[in-house]
């Protein structure tokens, strides 16, 4: 299982790559493995200001649909255009081509977990 030390994580299994006041967000390797084959990513929140822990979209796997939660408060700047035609990228490369949104951070990042804390959360 891949859990890069350079990223931050949430209890809802999102990862966050912070660069200044912007962040790239996706779901973790653990989450995509639990969901199984992802067939659709539905994110319609571009341009919206969303609070931490609020839903910014959904991800649909063969047998389930799961909500996606904002790791920190912010404005959704961009969604990954690759996912529209290739949602399987979330399974294949969750920390690379499978990223989901880019946001402008407006809230605190203090609640995010380190890689070690996330590993403890998932029992790895």
pLDDT one-digit tens code per residue, 51-101? 999 999 999 999 899 999 999 999 999 999 999 999 999 999 999 999 999
Give the model's pLDDT for residue 7: 97
Residue 123 domain-assigned (yes or no): no
The CATH number of whichever domain residue 15 belongs to comes to 2.40.50.100
Does 72 map to a domain? yes
Sign, CA dihedral 83-8-58-66, equals positive
**Has residue 108 got a pLDDT over 90?**
no
79: containing domain? 9-110
pTM summary value: 0.94
Query: How many independent structural domains does the chain possess?
Result: 1
Cβ-Cβ contacts under 8 Å for 123 (sequence gap 6 or more): none
Output Rg (C-alpha) for the chain, integer angstroms: 13
C-alpha span between 50 and 56 (Å, rounded): 7
């Amino acid at each position: 299982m891949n859990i890069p030390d350079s990223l931050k994580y949430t209890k809802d299994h999102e990862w966050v790559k912070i660069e200044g006041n912007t962040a790239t967000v996706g779901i973790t390797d653990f989450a995509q493995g639990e969901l199984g084959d992802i067939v659709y990513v539905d994110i319609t929140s571009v341009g919206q200001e969303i609070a931490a822990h609020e839903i910014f979209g959904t991800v649909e796997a063969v047998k389930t649909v799961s909500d996606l939660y904002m790791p920190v408060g912010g404005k959704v700047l961009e969604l990954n255009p690759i996912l529209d035609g290739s949602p399987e990228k979330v399974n294949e490369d969750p920390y690379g081509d499978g990223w989901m949104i880019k946001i402008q951070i407006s809230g605190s990042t203090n609640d995010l977990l380190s890689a070690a804390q996330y590993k403890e959360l998932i029992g790895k």
